[in-house]
């Protein structure tokens, strides 16, 4: 893609946020621009994202992170599962500097690229190479325990619950961004017995720009002991 100066990119992101009615704190805009520029530069070497212009970056990546952010308490310890190019974890760290954000990706090349991105833009965010499950299990107690796992565009809900339902006592909850098939995915998960120990509920929704569909935010939590509640 063509080069654009940092001030111009910052202004373009601000303009697009305003057009879409997305409220961004002014001090977060330079960080968003720095991240977008670095992500797109790395994307020329390794396919990290399809959102390679300001419109798609703001309407999909920034919008998703903004939808997640209000559901995170001050100072939460967050793990971005399968971070890919750093969404939503890096964006959450920029939008919410109070959070303790860490990133994990099972693909070594992607993890290395995101490690390069966060270093380039000056963020002190740990980036792990490997399956997120191992880091969740390893950090199940004390200050290392994750309050929230954030997940976007990683796997069907059935697969996510296959991975993380057995570990539901080792973290606080999962927040999962899903599209219009979320109810079918939830039904498939129930059919295969993966909601016996967790509850799955929709806590937010927002439009997918340029379509008639919407994204939803699902919260997955361990069921209370001896609860007979139906999901």
* CA–CA dist 211, 63 (Å, integer): 14
Tokens of 98: 């109070």
- State the CB neighbour count (10 A cutoff) for residue 42: 21
Residue 2 has pLDDT above 50, yes or no: no
pLDDT tens, position by position, 167-191:
999 999 999 999 999 999 999 999 9
This prediction has a pTM of 0.92
CB 109 within 8 A of CB 46: yes
- State the CB neighbour count (10 A cutoff) for residue 30: 16
Q: Which CATH superfamily is domain 6-222 in?
A: Vaccinia Virus protein VP39 (3.40.50.150)
Q: SS in 3 state form for 104-116?
A: EECCHHHHHHHHH
Residue 228 has pLDDT above 60, yes or no: no
pLDDT tens, position by position, 109-161:
999 999 999 999 999 999 999 999 999 999 999 999 999 999 998 999 999 99
> Where do the structural domains in the chain lie, given as residue ranges?
6-222
pLDDT tens, position by position, 29-68:
999 999 999 999 999 888 899 999 999 999 999 999 999 9
- Ordered strands of the 148-152 beta sheet: 127-129, 100-105, 77-81, 148-152, 173-178, 214-222, 198-207
């Amino acid at each position: 893609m063509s080069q654009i100066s940092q001030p111009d990119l910052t202004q373009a992101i601000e303009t697009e946020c305003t057009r879409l009615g997305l409220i961004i704190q002014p001090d977060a805009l330079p960080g968003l621009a720095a991240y977008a520029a670095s992500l797109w530069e790395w994307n020329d070497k390794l396919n990290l994202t399809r959102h390679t212009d300001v419109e798609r970056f703001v309407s999909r990546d920034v919008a998703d992170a903004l939808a997640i952010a209000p559901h995170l308490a001050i100072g939460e310890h967050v793990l971005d599962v399968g971070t890919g190019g750093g969404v939503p974890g890096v964006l959450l760290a920029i939008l919410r500097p109070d959070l303790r954000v860490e990133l994990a990706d099972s693909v070594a090349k992607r993890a290395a690229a995101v490690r390069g991105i966060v270093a380039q833009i000056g963020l002190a965010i740990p980036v792990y190479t490997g399956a997120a499950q191992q880091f969740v299990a390893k950090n199940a107690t004390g200050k290392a325990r994750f309050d929230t796992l954030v997940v976007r565009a990683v796997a069907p809900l059935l697969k996510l619950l296959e991975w993380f339902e057995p570990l539901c006592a080792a973290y606080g909850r999962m927040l999962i961004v899903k599209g219009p098939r979320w109810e079918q995915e939830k039904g498939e998960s129930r059919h295969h017995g993966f909601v016996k120990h967790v509850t799955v509920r929709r806590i937010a929704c927002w439009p997918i720009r340029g379509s008639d569909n919407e994204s939803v935010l699902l919260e997955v939590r361990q069921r209370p002991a001896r609860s007979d509640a139906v999901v």
